[in-house]
Amino acid sequence: MIKMINETEKINFLKEFFFEKELIQEFSDCPVVDLDENYFLLKEGEYVSAIPIVINGSIKVIRTDESGKEILMYFIEKGESCALSISACLTNSKSKALAQVEERATVIIISDDKLKKWIEKYNSFKTYIFKLYHNRFTELINVFEAIAFKNIDTRLIEKLKEKMAHQNTDLINITHQQLAKELGTAREVVSRLLKQLEKQGKIESRRGKIKILQHL
């Protein structure tokens, strides 16, 4: 649904990233949308006709293989957009990942024609896109390094810390199956490792939640 927000707040938000007055004015034609948790903003194999810029909340971008195994690639948070969606939009190609709302989010939707025009026309928008690509490239390198060089128990602890930071709480809303998908491993492996952490008094595993009791 369309979310009515204060226009002054919207303009102030945009001014954090863009400086051309004409560009800020053009954003007035872009809808602001409120997205519920777990909503699929984009699915693999779909053509991309618009991109989001997140005002608040977070969206996770996931890659799935033929067997259904998932790897979390990165999060899209305040002031960010999806580099893979932008790439698919600019090249008129199908999405190679899915985007799902992690925490209830408010986003600005930019159509593909505006995206292409603004990159050509506005320096601040072009700089925004280049910085976004740089940051996402760095994050994807980190994902590759984690998969290639770190064992699964280390990755699990890092994932729990990441979830704590994103949800801003020590009571994380996530199931063993969801953790396994994001780590690209079997649920049984995750459950066994969480049981070990529970025996060490570091976590408490509940139905659909994990309580962090000690510093991991």
Q: Could you tell me if 34 and 97 lie in one domain?
A: yes
Print pLDDT tens along the chain (216 aa): 445 577 888 889 999 999 999 999 999 989 999 999 999 999 999 999 999 999 999 999 998 877 777 788 899 999 999 999 999 999 999 998 999 998 899 999 999 999 999 999 999 999 999 999 999 999 888 878 877 777 888 889 999 998 888 888 889 989 898 888 888 788 888 898 999 999 899 988 888 899 998 877
How many CB atoms lie under 10 A from the CB of residue 56? 15
Give the span between the Cα atoms of 128 and 126, in whole angstroms.
5
CATH number of the domain within which 75 lies: 2.60.120.10
pLDDT, tens digit (0-9, with 9 covering 90-100), for 191-209: 989 999 998 999 888 888 9
Which domain-ending residue is among 100, 127, 148? Answer: 148
* Full strand arrangement of the beta sheet holding 209-212: 171-173, 209-212, 203-206
Q: Which ranges of the chain does DSSP label H, i.e. alpha helix? A: 7-15, 21-26, 83-91, 112-121, 123-149, 152-167, 176-183, 187-199
pLDDT, tens digit (0-9, with 9 covering 90-100), for 136-167: 999 888 878 877 777 888 889 999 998 888 88
Residue 2 lies in a domain: no
> For the chain, how many structural domains are there in total?
2
In this structure, are strands 98-111 and 203-206 parallel, antiparallel, or unpaired? unpaired
Backbone angles phi, psi at 58, to 5 degrees: -150, 150
Give the span between the Cα atoms of 45 and 39, in whole angstroms.
17
Q: Which domain holds residue 170?
A: 151-212
Give the span between the Cα atoms of 127 and 132, in whole angstroms.
8
Q: Could you tell me if 164 and 127 lie in one domain?
A: no
Q: Could you tell me if 81 and 134 lie in one domain?
A: yes
Q: Please name the residues in contact with 61: beta carbons below 8 A apart, sequence gap of 6 or more.
A: 72, 73, 74, 75, 76, 82, 84, 97, 98, 99
CA 153 centroid distance within chain: 23
Q: Could you tell me if 185 and 136 lie in one domain?
A: no
Q: Could you tell me if 66 and 11 lie in one domain?
A: yes
